[in-house]
Structure 1
Amino acid sequence: MQYRRFGKTNLRLSVFSLGTMRYLADAETARQTIEKALALGINHIETARGYGKSEEYLGKALQAGLSVPRSQLHITTKIPPTADADTMRRYIDESLEKLHLDYLDCLGIHGLNTWEHLEMVQAGCIQAVQEAIADGRVKHVGFSTHGSLDVILAAINTDLFEFVNLHYYYFFQRHAAAIQLAASKDMGIFIISPADKGGRLYTPPQTLTDLCHPFSPLELNYRFLLSDSRITTLSVGPANPEELIEPLQVADHINELTEEEISAFQRIENQAKTALATDKCSQCFACLPCPENINIPEVLRLRNLAVAYDMTDYGKYRYGMFENAGHWFPGMKANRCTECGDCLPRCPEELNIPALLADTHERLSGKAGRRLWG
């Protein structure tokens, strides 16, 4: 396991962090998963108030005693933005109580996804967080986000935060500017869910597997991220101890990309150009805003992946979240398109966007999805 400095927090975190949204079968499975992670060199555990019994299970494991001393273990919990400081004070106290801790190494504002959330933080709850920092109950503050790039950049530019948790992967590089800005401010950078949200790469389609050979798609995505020295740590979210094994096989590989890895990425790029031809959405976002509130770039990104790499299962999984996950995954489904034509003159590729939206809905519509936890 390799370790990196988590920006201005000056914590040295393992390049993989244990995410605890999925180890929720029971307290014993949680304890076993935590101990396996520690044995493999992970020194950072992340939980959240909103993750069911996750804080409670982690607290029980800490109370019973772990193989690593508390002083060598870094613990983050996340709490959603609140409209007032008193509610945040109560939430911080409740999390500390559930975790059986005197202090948190890191507190993340969970789901800073909208302009309203950012206003809530600035106008209310950040006061309670700063009080907790002053009295030692919280050491460092950051935020996690599923928001749009403009909201993320604005939150970083408040200079209220020491780290950021965000989505950024080989197949989703929209937030590259946020990575750069956070790094310029010496913020710790934590990548959320690179295996699952990054493409469900633990169950890749054969087309993608063949393109990545001799590497696995999961391995290549991890290497894409770990080769970037600005990124501190990646979340791994096992449901049991066994699911830690495959991801952590690359935990020592944080050097620059090799020529063979670069060649694999070039094959992936060439496949997209060939398969999508003149229908490839370049993700420039010029088509927004849409009068029907369709997240056109994200819909067409999912189409890109389905057509180019047969990533249809992943596409259905994400597409099913539209209209079902609120601010965590905003936007209407593609069949809401009225063919008004507002987007057409703004597209530099001159794509027939209404036709591509209809095609995407036909390919990917299925059962509605939802977030695992609210």
Structure 2
Amino acid sequence: MKDIILGKTGIKVPQNGFGALPIQRVSIEEAVRILKKAYDGGMRFFDTARAYSDSEIKLGEAFGTGYIKREDIIIATKTAAKTPEEFWKDLDTSLANLKTEYIDVYQLHMMPQCFKPGDGTGLYECLVEAKRQGKIRHIGGTAHKLGVAKEIIESGLYETLQYPMSYLATDKEVELIHLCNKHEMGFISMKGLAGGLITNSKAAMAFISQFDGAVPIWGIQRESELDEWLAFMDSTPTMDDSIKAFIEKERKELMGDFCRGCGYCMPCTVGIQINQCNRMSLMLRRAPSASWLNEYWQAEMEKINDCIECGKCMTHCPYELQIPTLLRKNLEDYHEVLAGNRKVQ
């Protein structure tokens, strides 16, 4: 496993990071055990957010109680604050939750625009002041929209960019990594498994390993998942002809109009869980589970019939998907599975 440097931050970590969103779904005891095992196995970059319920608390319990020296790990977290008041409240909460005096990379979460000095929001000024006070060490941002991501990079104001990146990414999206390298920015790669659509961890790791300056943060909930990524610390997959052929096959099957599950389209006017319902057909095919067919999901899928085609969701979709059309197609496929015309494991 090679080490990478996140641009001008100077942060040097193995190219194998821990995405802590999923640990909000497990007990504190289980989360702490998994986090410590990740560290013991060689992971050094841990990413979380205020929006991830108690994820920060669990990181604090694992690493803020003397198990390791604080300087031995890199902690990145995020705020979705819209005002300076919210910013400082979130930052103080994160510091308390994480049991730390500073955050290595503090990111504005799901940025709808590139926040800049003098734009009237005061958010960038807060980042600079927090860094001056020593509460944060580096300034970052996360985005799902390609245009916003490019503006963040080219602004020269941010030290890291976090953006969805998997082997299903378009050439224009992959170019963001090269652009970050050109501007000496670190690239934090989220959604490396495309929200569960990618099931081949070897191919996923081989893809991101091609790029310098990029650290992937794998969303980890179970010890078995962690074991897959830790196995790559000593034996890192590299891109070869067989993996290239596999990825090409995957891209032909999945590229195009499919939902990545980012959630920008939410909330729905009539309460549809768009980010799940809009890719139900793919999930049944790619990550088959009978749990997708229980009464809860049946009821959620039937909400698609309530769609009034207001178009609000489409105005927020970074991938410009025809969401109402895709929802109806997913419902049709779902009914086929329920009727027994298609099988699910």
TM-score range, shorter-chain basis?
A: 0.7 to 0.9
Q: Where do residues 35-54 of structure 1 align in structure 2 (5 Å cutoff)?
A: 35-54=36-55
Q: Distance in 2 between matches of 1:170 and 1:163?
A: 21
1:28 equivalent in alignment to 2:29: yes
Q: Where do residues 290-329 of structure 1 align in structure 2 (5 Å cutoff)?
A: 311=286
Q: Distance in 1 between matches of 2:85 and 2:44?
A: 32
* Residue of structure 1 in register with 2:66 after alignment: 65
| Kept in 2: contact 1:144–1:164 (CA 8 A) | yes
* Residue of structure 2 in register with 1:251 after alignment: 233
Q: Where do residues 179-190 of structure 1 align in structure 2 (5 Å cutoff)?
A: 179-190=177-188
The change in CA–CA distance for 1:14 and 1:336 in structure 2 (over 3 A counts) is same
| Letter in structure 1 aligned against 2:232 | V
Q: Where do residues 145-164 of structure 1 align in structure 2 (5 Å cutoff)?
A: 145=143, 147-164=144-161
* Residue of structure 2 in register with 1:362 after alignment: 332
Gaps of 5+ in 2: 259-274, 337-345
Q: Distance in 1 between matches of 2:196 and 2:74?
A: 25
Q: Distance in 2 between matches of 1:331 and 1:281?
A: 9
The change in CA–CA distance for 1:142 and 1:20 in structure 2 (over 3 A counts) is same
Runs of 4+ in 1 over 6 A off after TM superposition: 322-328, 330-333
Deviation, structure 1 residue 176: 1.9
Aligned partner of residue 197 in structure 1, secondary structure: helix
| Letter in structure 2 aligned against 1:234 | P
The change in CA–CA distance for 1:102 and 1:235 in structure 2 (over 3 A counts) is same
Deviation, structure 1 residue 259: 3.2
Aligned partner of residue 43 in structure 2, secondary structure: coil
| Kept in 2: contact 1:5–1:12 (CA 8 A) | yes
* Residue of structure 1 in register with 2:262 after alignment: none
Q: Distance in 1 between matches of 2:210 and 2:319?
A: 33
| Kept in 1: contact 2:115–2:124 (CA 8 A) | no
Q: Where do residues 1-374 of structure 1 align in structure 2 (5 Å cutoff)?
A: 1-24=1-24, 25-66=26-67, 68-83=68-83, 85-112=84-111, 114-115=112-113, 118=115, 122-123=119-120, 124-145=122-143, 147-173=144-170, 174-197=172-195, 199-201=197-199, 217-231=200-214, 233-252=215-234, 257-268=239-250, 272=253, 311=286, 334=322, 336=324, 362-363=332-333
| Letter in structure 2 aligned against 1:36 | K
Aligned partner of residue 229 in structure 1, secondary structure: coil
| Kept in 1: contact 2:79–2:109 (CA 8 A) | yes
| Kept in 2: contact 1:49–1:77 (CA 8 A) | yes
Aligned partner of residue 76 in structure 1, secondary structure: strand
| Letter in structure 1 aligned against 2:197 | G
The change in CA–CA distance for 1:302 and 1:53 in structure 2 (over 3 A counts) is closer
TM-score, structure 1 normalization: 0.68
| Kept in 2: contact 1:335–1:361 (CA 8 A) | no
The change in CA–CA distance for 1:87 and 1:6 in structure 2 (over 3 A counts) is same
Deviation, structure 1 residue 336: 3.8
Deviation, structure 1 residue 328: 8.0
Deviation, structure 1 residue 258: 2.3
TM-score, structure 2 normalization: 0.73
The change in CA–CA distance for 1:236 and 1:357 in structure 2 (over 3 A counts) is closer
Q: Distance in 1 between matches of 2:155 and 2:324?
A: 36
Aligned partner of residue 23 in structure 1, secondary structure: helix
* Residue of structure 2 in register with 1:204 after alignment: none
| Kept in 2: contact 1:81–1:121 (CA 8 A) | no
| Kept in 1: contact 2:65–2:99 (CA 8 A) | no
| Kept in 1: contact 2:314–2:320 (CA 8 A) | no
Aligned partner of residue 246 in structure 1, secondary structure: helix
The change in CA–CA distance for 1:334 and 1:365 in structure 2 (over 3 A counts) is farther
Deviation, structure 1 residue 218: 2.3
Q: Distance in 2 between matches of 1:9 and 1:364?
A: 47
Aligned partner of residue 171 in structure 1, secondary structure: coil
| Letter in structure 2 aligned against 1:140 | H
Deviation, structure 1 residue 20: 1.4
Q: Distance in 2 between matches of 1:8 and 1:101?
A: 23
Q: Distance in 1 between matches of 2:206 and 2:151?
A: 29
| Letter in structure 1 aligned against 2:62 | A
The change in CA–CA distance for 1:122 and 1:169 in structure 2 (over 3 A counts) is farther
